[in-house]
């Protein structure tokens, strides 16, 4: 299932709606990395609220997305990790280091808007 | 053929004799009830057990224990006795009665009854032997049943208390909008550490917390497993978008953590709870000023 990517002001929002196959993840990665420069986005938000498991491949891909997008000149925020998912992720040693995480989409937008206000003001 | 026939017959005869003997025994115990019960109560007082209970209470309990005991001997079923033992334990455990006292009084009763059998059958040694053969296994089972019932009840109480303590001792408190504190007191085992993490993560989500102060002033010691759990808690909280500040690391714990080489690079630590809360307020953009200054 393809992940819809919405443009919202200066940000791109990708909401994952169901468990993704590895191919879906690769597709998401390439779509985000392409679009972020094409639409001149400041940041990308990946919403994983709907995921109740996060395996090592998904975690690694999310981290790769974040790092690639940084190289493309934008920032990535992962939002909506469930408490149970967070627990099992740290137990497996998957900690998404170097990637910003926020409680949910709202928090992510607040964080990015503050950051934008700081850099422009 | 004859042997095969005789075997079950033999055992049948044997069990009937045992039953007969037990019946005779029970009749004797019923007959001498008052006297034996008094003798038992006297020996309990002499042995100075059950000091938490008054003389009248001991006598009342002794009576019901005696009757249950005789009934268990008569019927050979222990359910009623088990239920009674549980019920008795429930009543006397809160009053500080110890295991050795309960086992002690049941053994005293066994001895009192055995003595009375010696007295009764002292002229017929053969009969005494057979009576004791029937009596001893049953009496031992009774002693076992009562002791096990008591210990099980105690363990149940202990488990209940442990659970209560565990729940009480891990409060996740909101001190300001989006700021939680988690004071940890006492011993942390892996199970409690996991429960703590779960509670904290739930708290972060329901309170939409941005900063969490974990205060471990009340934690006396920490081993590698628990330290790793703490690191995991910090990381899991970060995945939910919350920053964790750990406060109150004692010199001993600091030493342990350095010795076992736990990676504390990701941990934000401040000396005491006050400092932790102040830093959290700075992170959240609060500024606390004395009232006089604002006026």
What would the pLDDT profile of B28-45 be if each residue is shown by its tens digit?
888 888 888 888 888 888
CB contact under 8 A, B241 and A102: yes
How far does the CA of residue A49 sit from the closest CA of chain B (Å)?
11
For B231, the closest chain A residue by CA position comes to A90
Instruction: Give the CA distances from residue B202 to residues A83, B99, B197, B205, in Å, rounded to whole numbers and listed in that order.
Output: 6, 42, 9, 5
Predicted confidence (pLDDT) at residue B179 exceeds the cutoff of 50: yes
In which domain, by residue range, is A82 found? 5-120
Residue A101 phi/psi, 5-degree rounding, is: -125, 145
CATH number at residue A14: 3.30.750.24
Give start-end residues of each CATH 1.10.490.70 domain in chain B: 2-161
For helices A83-91 and B224-239, angle between their N-to-C axes, nearest 10 degrees: 130
What would the mean pLDDT of A75-98 be, rounded to a whole number?
A: 91
CB contact under 8 A, B208 and A103: yes
Q: By the 8 A CB rule, do B101 and B95 touch?
A: no
Domain total of chain A: 1
pTM for the model stands at 0.62
Interface check for B202 against chain A (CB to CB < 8 A): the answer is yes
Mutate to test the interface with A, among B199, B240, B266, B285 (most CBs of A within 10 A): B240
Strand, helix or coil for residue B211: strand
Strand, helix or coil for residue B294: helix
Looking at every residue in chain B, the average pLDDT score rounds to 83
**Is residue B207 very low, low, confident or very high in pLDDT (cuts 50, 70, 90)?**
very high
Fold observed for domain B173-294: Transcription Regulator spoIIAA (3.30.750)
Fold observed for domain B2-161: Globin-like (1.10.490)
**Is residue B99 very low, low, confident or very high in pLDDT (cuts 50, 70, 90)?**
confident
What would the mean pLDDT of B15-37 be, rounded to a whole number?
A: 81
Contacts of B203 in chain A (CB under 8 A): none
Predicted confidence (pLDDT) at residue B129 exceeds the cutoff of 90: no
DSSP H or E run through B181:
strand B179-185
**What integer pLDDT is reported at residue B167 of this predicted model?**
66
| Separation CA B124–CA B47 (nearest Å) | 31
**Is residue A97 very low, low, confident or very high in pLDDT (cuts 50, 70, 90)?**
confident
**What integer pLDDT is reported at residue B293 of this predicted model?**
66
Burial of A31 (0-12, 13-18, 19+ CB in 10 A): middle
| B153-172 pLDDT per residue, tens | 889 888 888 877 766 667 88
Interface check for B191 against chain A (CB to CB < 8 A): the answer is no
Interface check for B226 against chain A (CB to CB < 8 A): the answer is no
How far does the CA of residue B252 sit from the closest CA of chain A (Å)?
26
In a 13 Å sphere around the CA of B100, the CA atoms on its Cβ side amount to 4
């Amino acid at each position: 299932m393809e992940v819809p990517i919405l443009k919202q002001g200066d940000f791109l929002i990708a909401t994952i709606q169901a468990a993704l196959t590895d191919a879906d993840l690769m597709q998401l990665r390439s779509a985000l990395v392409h679009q972020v420069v094409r639409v001149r986005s400041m940041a990308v938000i990946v919403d994983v609220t709907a995921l109740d498991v996060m395996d090592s491949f998904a975690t690694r891909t999310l981290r790769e997305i974040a790092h690639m997008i940084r190289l493309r000149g934008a920032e990535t925020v992962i939002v909506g990790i469930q408490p149970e998912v967070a627990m099992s992720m740290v137990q497996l040693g998957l900690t998404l280091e170097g990637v910003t995480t926020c409680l949910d989409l709202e928090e992510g937008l607040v964080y990015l808007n503050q950051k934008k206000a700081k850099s422009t003001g | 053929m004859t042997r095969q026939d005789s075997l079950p017959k033999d055992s049948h005869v044997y069990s009937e004799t045992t039953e007969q003997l037990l019946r005779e025994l029970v009749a004797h115990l019923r007959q001498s009830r008052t006297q034996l019960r008094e003798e038992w109560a006297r020996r309990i007082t002499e042995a100075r057990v059950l000091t938490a209970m008054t003389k009248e209470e001991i006598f009342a309990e002794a009576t019901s224990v005696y009757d249950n005991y005789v009934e268990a001997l008569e019927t050979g079923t222990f359910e009623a006795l088990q239920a009674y033992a549980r019920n008795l334990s429930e009543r006397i455990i809160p009053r500080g009665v110890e295991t050795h006292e309960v086992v002690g009084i049941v053994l005293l009763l066994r001895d009192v009854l055995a003595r009375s059998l010696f007295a009764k059958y002292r002229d017929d040694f053969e009969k005494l032997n057979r009576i004791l053969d029937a009596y001893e296994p049953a009496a031992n089972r009774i002693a076992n049943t009562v002791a096990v019932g008591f210990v099980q009840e105690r363990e149940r109480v202990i488990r209940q208390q442990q659970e209560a303590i565990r729940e009480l001792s891990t409060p996740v408190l909101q001190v300001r909008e989006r700021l939680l504190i988690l004071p940890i007191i006492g011993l942390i085992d892996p199970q409690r550490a996991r429960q703590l993490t779960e509670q904290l993560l739930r708290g972060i989500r329901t309170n939409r917390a941005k900063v969490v102060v974990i205060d471990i002033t009340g934690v006396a010691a920490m081993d590698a497993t628990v330290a790793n759990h703490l690191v995991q808690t910090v990381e899991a909280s970060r995945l939910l978008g919350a920053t964790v500040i750990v406060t109150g690391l004692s010199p001993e714990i600091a030493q342990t953590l350095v010795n076992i080489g736990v990676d504390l690079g990701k941990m934000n630590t401040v000396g005491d709870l006050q400092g932790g809360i102040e830093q959290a307020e700075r992170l959240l953009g609060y500024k606390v000023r004395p009232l006089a200054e604002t006026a």
